[in-house]
Homo-oligomer: A and B are copies of this chain.
């Protein structure tokens, strides 16, 4: 008897990802789809994708999807969720989308304690537009707009948005994960599942930040990209639970 140990999750459509080889978006998409299947919420979930490499997320997630302008995912999700409080609304956003142009919308949705979930892909770059500096780009890291490497005097410092959000009373659960190894990926899935569960339990705002390789713009192989995350990126962005207030609610 053949037992299937691993296969494509149900709510991931049968389409080839447009992502580059080794891109963390693919892994994270799959985890989200698995969680949606396991929690059995596909018919009441609504995804708000970003402008960013994941802009075509609707080609992959087999659920209702409503597009947001660049950076405005949290506001769009707020509108959706307030009208449909018993649906599961989540945004999927990049670091440029959330931590640069969407800073205000993100912080205030979190501060209002909107009962939504955010999957926050931190790949330290503007993937879609071709590798410009992101708020999360590491000091010294090269990008097309920091050809000499990020210089704190000129370009400021990597922004730890999750830590800032953790200060807000409206946020319940914030965890930073990475998708650089099977072990980390399993932890990432657990975090994503917990984040959705918190929304299902109506506790408030939950967020999972995913350290995610962008081999193309980092100009590294996928394998080296994962190593680079483990060795360097986690120094600035340590993985682990940043805030968990779910027990107190």
Contacts and interface: CB of A to CB of B under 8 A. Distances in A.
A249 to B, nearest CB: 12
Interface in A141-169: 152-153, 155-160, 163-164, 167-169
A156 B135 contact: no
A108 interface: yes
Given A164-B167, A167-B167, A155 B103 contact: no
A157 B101 contact: no
Contacts of A22: none
A47 to B, nearest CB: 24
Given A157-B168, A168-B157, A169-B152, A108 B103 contact: yes
A113 B156 contact: yes
Interface in A84-131: 100-104, 107-108, 111-113
A152 B113 contact: yes
A102 B108 CA distance: 12
Contacts of A156: 108, 111-113, 170
24 contacts: A100-B108, A104-B104, A107-B107, A107-B159, A108-B135, A108-B159, A111-B135, A111-B156, A111-B159, A112-B156, A113-B156, A113-B157, A152-B169, A152-B170, A156-B170, A157-B169, A157-B170, A158-B169, A159-B168, A160-B167, A163-B167, A164-B164, A164-B167, A167-B167
Contact of A157 (B111, B155, B158): B111
Interface centre among A108, A153, A156, A169 (most CB of B within 10 A): A156
A238 to B, nearest CB: 14
Given A101-B104, A167-B167, 13 more contacts: A100-B104, A103-B104, A103-B108, A107-B164, A111-B135, A113-B152, A113-B153, A113-B156, A152-B169, A152-B170, A157-B170, A160-B167, A164-B167
